[in-house]
Structure 1
Amino acid sequence: MERKPPRSPRVAWEKSGAPQERRPPPEPYQVTEVQPLHADADWLHLCVVEEVVIDGIKAYINSTEKDLVQKMQFLNCIITLCSTARNKGLTEGLDVFCHRNKLAENVEVLMCEEPREQLCTALRYHTMNAIAALSSVKAISEDEIVHLLNICFNVIFCLPPKESLNICLYNHTLHAMDNMLKVLLDSHPSSSIHNQLQSILEVLLPFTVSQSKTVCERALNQMWKLSGFMTKSFWQQPVGKNLHPSQRTKIVLMTLEKIIGDYSFDEKKWAETVLDMVLRDPGTWLIDVPEILRSIHRNLEINTTSLQQTLLSLLDVLTNRFPRDALMSVLTDLPQSDSTTLDIWKRMLSLTGTSERILEELRHVLQDPELCGVFNITTEDSGLLSLTMMHPTDEILNKLCNPALLQRCLKTESLPILWLALRGLGLLSERPETAREIWALLPDIMETLQFANMHIVLKVLNICRLLMSYLGKREASPIALKLAQKLLPLFNHVSSEVRECSIRLFKDVTEAAVWWKKGTMKKNVRRGLLPLLFHMSDETPSVAQASRETLVACAKCLKWKELKHKAREENIVGIRKCLLQQDRSRVEGYLWQSLPYLKDSQASLRSEAVKFIGLALQHSWDQTEEKLNEICSALQPLEDDADPAVCNLARGTILMLSRQRQQASSARSRLAALWCWL
């Protein structure tokens, strides 16, 4: 019975012993009988596969003693056989040849014979390339592939830590594993990709729960790479659905680590691909809200602005997808007195487009009984805190004006709760009728400055400024004295906004003291003179301007006309001389007060401190050698300052100190000689 011609009619598997000659292709529609494939390599037509490849495979199989060279040649022959068959379109029947010659079994033996504690040869590398080649032409069965995968993972993942291995060879071996898995997936049609992926993951999963940390990390890293490959190559494949929830979370955390950590450019680009997949399907990948939020918090503390934006984008998606879980997790799973926690909280509550939904969830979260117990507030009152995020209508402000609740919230250790309370107080302090209701809370409000968080401090300063403006001098004076003491340390805050606000408020409290309180206020004013002088050279112009204006107010309070005149003229040289000449008893105090500014982050302030110290030493009578040595030690680091001007000033001042020390030593010698003579 005649048959239809085969797909490649010019190819025929001939009987053993038949002459191996090239035959012309048959005429169109000529009927050709395809002979069955036999195990003997001689049956392969020489125009298809080089004879040396067949002989190499045959020689290895028949050999009883196999050295490393023979093993490598055997694997290379398999790769060449599969590559040639694929390129020539002659893969049909190749699976029978491989099965009868037990190629899969021989490859397995090679892998198992390698020492588990060493990676001294490229045999594993070539073995995985051979498995990839066999898979690409369907030369071995799916069961054989799965079995070989398990062997590969076992012999690679169980190697010692990479620090104990040849790093170059180790990296090449891992690259071969990556390529093998890609080939396994690429060689399948789209309809069966999901099943093949599932098979690979089922082999990987047991390694992710190994008792060995190294094995777990390697298996998880391989799963991470596989997820990225599937995302990049097969967008329609829901990779996360094939993983356990904990494994999805681990992949997300690994992705963040590779984006943020010190990894290669290729790994970072791959991580960006995986992150895109996560952000497109947050319902699958971001289900462990507390764990992911802790990772965002941990990495926000240590990373640059560009990387922070990546983390904040992930935070936005997490909040939009799981608003209640995210808000609750901030209040229960993150450190409550931490500035980064507050940054996350503010970001969540400032999202546009979904604010109504998030505010509704905020109301439910704040009324959680257990949470209220933690923060020592009632569920009935805590609901008022959600009003602080709403548009401040008269109705809202009237409900919010609850001094007792707000006072309890001011005593909390939770920055997110405190921020809400201060936000409410800020709204109330903007209207005279409500400000009068809460002004008695000023001492409690000032106590929150202890947190030194920029957002908290700015809110407190703004509230104090507004409330002070509504009070008469008699009411404001006691508060002004306490507030002045708390403001002085803020002059040197890292935030220019805090510096400016605290300096301007210091001016207000200086002017608020009534005449019989002036004596007490003057002590605080004198402590502020030198910082104000230095900050007239602040690199932020608004801070420098605020310092000049406040110094004028301080001069008025002290009734130092010359200082007031020099401050108005912005005559910094004149102000220096005025401070040192006006009250010689304070020269020593000014000198020691200057030393911390030698370490200021602003070069302009370091420079001003050096200049003032040099001038102060000329006005100081108590120039002991111990004092000069201490000041010299404080100046020495500035000899290598990044700013050339500071560097030159420091060297000149140190030279002057050296001369003064010599003079002091010489004077002591003369005095000792005099005593001996007497």
Structure 2
Amino acid sequence: MEERPPSSPRVAWEESGAPQERRSPPEPYEVTEVQPLRADADSLSLSEEEEDEEIGEYEKAAMDKIAYILKITEKNEALKMVFLESVCTICRGDDNTGLCDRVALFCRENNLAEKVKELLEDEPVDQLCTAVRYQAMLAIAALSEVKAIAQEEILPLLNACFKAVFYLPPEEDLDIHLYSHTLRAMDSMLQMLLLSHCTSSNEELRNILEVLTRFTSTQNKTVQARALNRIWKLSYFVTRGFWQESFAKFVPPSQRTNIICMTLEAIGECSAEDREWASLMLDVVLRDPVSWMMDVPEILEFIWRNLGSNSTSLQPTLYTVLDVLTNQFPRDVLISVLTDLPHSDSTTLDIWKRMLSLAENSECILDVLCSVLQDQELCGIFNVTTAELGLLRLTLIHPTEENLQELCKPALLQRLLKIESLPLLWLVLRGLVLLSERPETAIGIRDLLPDVMETLRFANTSIALKASKISRNVMTHVGKREARPIVVELAEKLLPLFSHVSSEVREGSILLFKDVMEAAVWWQKRNMRKTVHRGLLPLLFQMSDETPSVAEASGEALVRCAKFLRWKELKRQAKRKGKMEIKECLLRQDRQTANEYLWLSLPYLQNSQASLRYEAVEFIGLALQHSGHQSREKLNVICSALQPLRGDAHPAVRSVATGVIQKCQGQKAEPTRRRFKGLCCWPC
């Protein structure tokens, strides 16, 4: 016959096994220091002897409940909750050492820590429908307070806690109120474990972090985030408490970089609350970079990868981390940028430029950079001599007359212009900008302009700006006569820059194109005519550029083109700035030319500026009239290119695109109508 539950004033519990004063999780609270757990049921004013006697009876009843429930094999949720609440009850004693020892002995004899672990392991990880996990965390904290958990039980118990919570579905699929309180109970439990098992070596903190970091290494992003969150809050608790040692000391070295990277990701992506905790963790890292930022290449690669993404919200934080990393480990960072990051990537150059800005204000970093530029191993990687690479140090120091004369070595600079590394190439161009600004040195680098323009193959805005500036400076200083040997080659390389993403590059290249045409002599003009013809349509479109100075430069250059080509009608219309008349002028030449212009205008349909998209669509409509009948295949290509503009953000673009598409569709239907008309006229 099954044993009856012990006698108790609460008959309801005896009959059903259900808990009496079931408490819901408390209201949200801030996680600070854990306060010792205390009884909350006794509010009467009793004498000291009466209070001891009352507490003893209350605990005895809870112990009897625990003993009874332990004998039941299958426990429903109600019994589990009674068991866990009773564990908390017997541990809520006062500071009576004898009582605490008696409670701890009872807990150890009945293996209560193991029983709590088993309850956690029985919880389904695909749902959170009960408060068992929440109550289990409180029970573990209570057992820890009375030192009823053996040292060897702590790690398995922690592992069970983390698995039971971290592997739950995403929080949007859970009861958020219960889930939040469960996490807070876990944080309080971890803090109590630290306080109760604190030793001079802080081994318990090391053990907790070791278990947590295992979960940050899983492939499951939800698990990673939850484990990382616990680490953040532990770091806050530890750094505010009495721990005098670096928090990093307790994190496995192999996991420190991983924690930094996940913390940075969280700052850019997670909720406002988690972002706050992540920022606190990042502050811990930045205050102790020597301990945390040991793996320079790994951290640098993370910064590079995220700076190259479309998100800009994280960029200020990433640059802050880069600044600290550079100041702490200048040589390692400089070498890593040049050797570990992709050489021809624009983001690599952005990182390099940021570091150079630090070097300008730090003699230490500048000295290290000059030393790195004479590193033999680095020279071997880029297949240059130490004399050639060492020349670049002159681009970093004050440009005195003596330094510039030493830098002006065209043969060496020409070899350096062929380096396939944007950071080093940027230094070469930086030096050439300095040389191009002085007439006496600009003449010396005149023959390097084709090589300078060849750097445009990297499609990098910073490189393009410097190349354009160097070319314009040289053309200004050396005069037309000295510039003639290079004008034809230079003109060809300028055309792609007319539609560059940077308005500075667009304006500079157009003005330089104008200068190049003026510098050409009669025997060069024949070779340049085709290039100038190809520049007409881009210049026409750029007359509608949203940057006024670019639009103005385009109009002036178009006039110069017409003069170069001796095209009086185009020159007259370009001076009047009549865009529609210029379009008609270009298309009236012949059908073949009109057809060529039609296909050259298609790339402008994807231009970021609505004004240029409008001009391109309008021009295509006119070109269809002048170029004669197009094949069905070509009309399909044109319609496909125009189709996205039917949903353009600008009404004028949508309207004109719809009209041109209808015109294309009309042309496609014409051959069918002609064939049908021919059949109708067939003689009987």
User: Which residue does 1:147 correspond to in 2?
Assistant: 153
With over 3 angstroms needed to count, the CA separation of the structure-2 counterparts of 1:604 and 1:247, relative to structure 1, is same
Q: How many angstroms apart in 1 are the aligned matches of 2:660 and 2:50?
A: 104
TM-score, reference length from structure 1: 0.84
Q: Alignment partner for residue 201 of structure 1, among 188, 206, 214?
A: 206
* 1:53 positional shift: 4.3
User: Which residue does 1:420 correspond to in 2?
Assistant: 427
**Residue 634 (structure 1) aligned with residue 656 (structure 2):** no
1:174-193 per-position Cα deviation (integer Å, ceiling 9, x unaligned): 96466334444368779x86
Which is further off, 145-154 or 557-566? 145-154
Describe the SS at the equivalent of 2:628. coil
CA contact (8 A) 1:286 1:292 kept: yes
User: Which residue does 2:231 correspond to in 1?
Assistant: 226
* 1:370 positional shift: 0.8
With over 3 angstroms needed to count, the CA separation of the structure-2 counterparts of 1:195 and 1:177, relative to structure 1, is farther
With over 3 angstroms needed to count, the CA separation of the structure-2 counterparts of 1:186 and 1:207, relative to structure 1, is closer
With over 3 angstroms needed to count, the CA separation of the structure-2 counterparts of 1:292 and 1:652, relative to structure 1, is same
Q: How many angstroms apart in 2 are the aligned matches of 1:139 and 1:170?
A: 31
Describe the SS at the equivalent of 2:111. helix
With over 3 angstroms needed to count, the CA separation of the structure-2 counterparts of 1:134 and 1:471, relative to structure 1, is same
> Aligned ranges for residues 584-603 of structure 1 at < 5 Å?
585-603=592-610
Which is further off, 169-178 or 100-109? 169-178
1:172-224 per-position Cα deviation (integer Å, ceiling 9, x unaligned): 6796466334444368779x867585413224426746998459995896366
> Aligned ranges for residues 508-657 of structure 1 at < 5 Å?
508-582=515-589, 585-657=592-664
With over 3 angstroms needed to count, the CA separation of the structure-2 counterparts of 1:221 and 1:310, relative to structure 1, is same
User: Which residue does 2:69 correspond to in 1?
Assistant: 60
* 1:309 positional shift: 1.1
Q: How many angstroms apart in 1 are the aligned matches of 2:89 and 2:210?
A: 32
Describe the SS at the equivalent of 1:306. coil
Describe the SS at the equivalent of 2:314. helix
**Residue 499 (structure 1) aligned with residue 506 (structure 2):** yes
1:576-617 per-position Cα deviation (integer Å, ceiling 9, x unaligned): 222222555411111111112112221111111111111222
* 1:353 positional shift: 7.0
CA contact (8 A) 1:185 1:196 kept: no
Describe the SS at the equivalent of 1:459. helix
> Aligned ranges for residues 191-590 of structure 1 at < 5 Å?
195=200, 198-205=203-210, 208=213, 213=218, 222=227, 225-231=230-236, 234-235=239-240, 237=243, 238-261=246-269, 263-351=270-358, 354-582=361-589, 585-590=592-597
**Gap regions ≥5 residues in structure 1:** 1-10, 12-19, 27-31, 36-41
Q: How many angstroms apart in 1 are the aligned matches of 2:206 and 2:326?
A: 30
* 1:357 positional shift: 1.5
* 1:130 positional shift: 1.0
Q: How many angstroms apart in 1 are the aligned matches of 2:170 and 2:91?
A: 35
1:254-291 per-position Cα deviation (integer Å, ceiling 9, x unaligned): 11121234x33322221111111112222221121111
Describe the SS at the equivalent of 2:342. coil
With over 3 angstroms needed to count, the CA separation of the structure-2 counterparts of 1:275 and 1:159, relative to structure 1, is closer
With over 3 angstroms needed to count, the CA separation of the structure-2 counterparts of 1:96 and 1:517, relative to structure 1, is same
CA contact (8 A) 1:98 1:139 kept: yes
Q: How many angstroms apart in 2 are the aligned matches of 1:214 and 1:384?
A: 48
CA contact (8 A) 1:625 1:664 kept: no
* 1:242 positional shift: 2.1
CA contact (8 A) 1:228 1:270 kept: yes
Q: Alignment partner for residue 109 of structure 1, among 102, 105, 115?
A: 115
Q: How many angstroms apart in 1 are the aligned matches of 2:416 and 2:495?
A: 26
CA contact (8 A) 2:159 2:211 kept: no
Q: Alignment partner for residue 47 of structure 2, among 13, 16, 25?
A: 25
* 1:405 positional shift: 2.2
* 1:653 positional shift: 1.9
1:315-355 per-position Cα deviation (integer Å, ceiling 9, x unaligned): 11111111111111101111111110000000000127743
Q: How many angstroms apart in 2 are the aligned matches of 1:443 and 1:353?
A: 30
With over 3 angstroms needed to count, the CA separation of the structure-2 counterparts of 1:107 and 1:189, relative to structure 1, is closer
* 1:55 positional shift: 4.8
Q: How many angstroms apart in 2 are the aligned matches of 1:97 and 1:650?
A: 83
CA contact (8 A) 1:598 1:635 kept: yes
CA contact (8 A) 2:209 2:250 kept: no
Q: How many angstroms apart in 1 are the aligned matches of 2:535 and 2:294?
A: 53
Describe the SS at the equivalent of 2:506. helix
Describe the SS at the equivalent of 2:294. coil
With over 3 angstroms needed to count, the CA separation of the structure-2 counterparts of 1:287 and 1:626, relative to structure 1, is closer
* 1:461 positional shift: 1.1
Describe the SS at the equivalent of 2:537. helix
CA contact (8 A) 1:538 1:604 kept: yes
Which amino acid in the other structure matches residue 247 of structure 2?
A: V
* 1:107 positional shift: 3.2
* 1:380 positional shift: 3.2
Which amino acid in the other structure matches residue 272 of structure 1?
A: S
Which amino acid in the other structure matches residue 139 of structure 2?
A: A
The Cα RMSD (Å) is 3.6
Q: How many angstroms apart in 2 are the aligned matches of 1:62 and 1:627?
A: 85
Which amino acid in the other structure matches residue 44 of structure 1?
A: I
Aligned residues: 637
Q: How many angstroms apart in 2 are the aligned matches of 1:396 and 1:243?
A: 49
CA contact (8 A) 1:432 1:470 kept: yes
With over 3 angstroms needed to count, the CA separation of the structure-2 counterparts of 1:205 and 1:625, relative to structure 1, is closer
CA contact (8 A) 1:529 1:551 kept: yes
* 1:646 positional shift: 0.9
Q: How many angstroms apart in 1 are the aligned matches of 2:153 and 2:177?
A: 23
Which is further off, 656-665 or 331-340? 656-665
With over 3 angstroms needed to count, the CA separation of the structure-2 counterparts of 1:489 and 1:104, relative to structure 1, is farther
Q: Percent identity among equivalent residues?
A: 49
CA contact (8 A) 1:104 1:144 kept: no
With over 3 angstroms needed to count, the CA separation of the structure-2 counterparts of 1:447 and 1:24, relative to structure 1, is closer
Q: Alignment partner for residue 69 of structure 1, among 33, 54, 78?
A: 78
Q: How many angstroms apart in 1 are the aligned matches of 2:407 and 2:66?
A: 85
TM-score, reference length from structure 2: 0.84
Which amino acid in the other structure matches residue 234 of structure 2?
A: F
1:23-60 per-position Cα deviation (integer Å, ceiling 9, x unaligned): 9637xxxxx7998xxxxxx87356xx488645533432
Q: How many angstroms apart in 2 are the aligned matches of 1:642 and 1:206?
A: 52
> Aligned ranges for residues 161-200 of structure 1 at < 5 Å?
168=174, 176=182, 179-185=185-191, 195=200, 198-200=203-205
With over 3 angstroms needed to count, the CA separation of the structure-2 counterparts of 1:45 and 1:194, relative to structure 1, is closer
Q: Alignment partner for residue 79 of structure 1, among 68, 80, 88?
A: 88
Higher relative contact order (CA 8 A, sep 6+): 2
User: Which residue does 1:44 correspond to in 2?
Assistant: 55
* 1:668 positional shift: 3.9
CA contact (8 A) 1:116 1:159 kept: no
